[in-house]
Amino acid sequence: MSADQTQSQSQTPTQHRDRYAVVGNPVAHSKSPAIHAQFAQETGEAVDYDRLLAPLDGFVEHVQAFRAAGGRGLNVTVPFKLEAHALAHRLSPRAAAAGAVNTLRFDEDGIFGDNTDGFGLVRDIEVNLGVSLKGARVLLLGAGGAARGVVLPMLECLPREITIVNRTAHKAHALIEQFAGSAQTFGCLINGGGPHAVDPKPYDVIVNATAGSLDAALPECDDRAFGTATLAYDMMYGAQPTVFMRHAESLGARASDGLGMLVEQAAESFFVWRGVRPTGAPVLAALRAQIAAQAAQA
């Protein structure tokens, strides 16, 4: 190693570092700073990443202040994803389809809004869990914001069929109508409605996009939709398997939580900001080990 290289390496810690953060309310629980710190270390990108607690009535002011102070971008979590969508000057196609933004990038010509949630879900299912969505029969439980954000990225994977089911059928029908054109473009059948619309035979993938697991509540779904070859995926995660995961496993299905989705959507946000794509799997493994250790101590 040359003297110049040694000097350059020794100066790296003091070089300019671009500022990013996750903004939400609450935000103290967020794992994003730890995730992005590992991404920065892996890629060698000069990034500092913090938490930003915004008042419920002060999101825009906090974002503008962060930007004015030199911030380069933000992850946006509840309850500000709709406000972030409205704030952005430009939207990615997936953010426009989702009607919500979880990633803001501050460019010279304005604020760019993206939504990486659906990408994170798809990448976790296909890469980390090894289940291909191409040609698959997919059941999506829920028709709220979480569901809306993942339909287009799933359609891009060319599934055979997506069935959207919601307790309130008209919300499912509205989502089906919204994505009917895209489904036709990708050659995918999209259908659904109320819980009665569930086909009483096993699906390849069932995604729980409801918030039921937060209250230990199961979404309405025919048990016959779960088979031994079914991946039952809950967008929620915790120290213990969710009630949806336990129910799916009791019916013989394979179950996964949404921790991998969290990591992979963060990796996509990092790519949107930096043009470099970090590897999610090592970070996911470290997070799972950390959560398991905390659960053992509890």
Cis bond leading into 55, ω under 30°? no
Binding residues for NADP(+): 142-146, 166-171, 235, 258
Contact 55, 62 (CB under 8 A): yes
Which among 274, 235, 278, 234 has a CA at the least distance from the CA of 253?
234
Contact 80, 114 (CB under 8 A): no
Contact 91, 48 (CB under 8 A): no
Which among 61, 76, 243, 57 has a CA at the least distance from the CA of 149?
76
Q: Which residues contact 234 (CB under 8 A, 6 or more apart)?
A: 208, 213, 242, 244, 245, 255, 256, 257, 258
Q: Of the residues 62, 72, 81, 247, which is catalytic?
A: 81
Active-site residue, 201 included:
no
Binding residues: 30-32, 77, 102, 117, 142-146, 166-171, 235, 237, 258, 265
Neighbour-count burial of 291, counting CB atoms closer than 10 A to its CB (0-12 exposed, 13-18 middle, 19+ buried): middle
Contact 115, 94 (CB under 8 A): yes
Binding residues for shikimate: 30-32, 77, 102, 117, 237, 265
Q: Angle at which helices 32-43 and 280-297 pack, to 10 degrees?
A: 140
Among all residues, which ones are annotated catalytic? 81
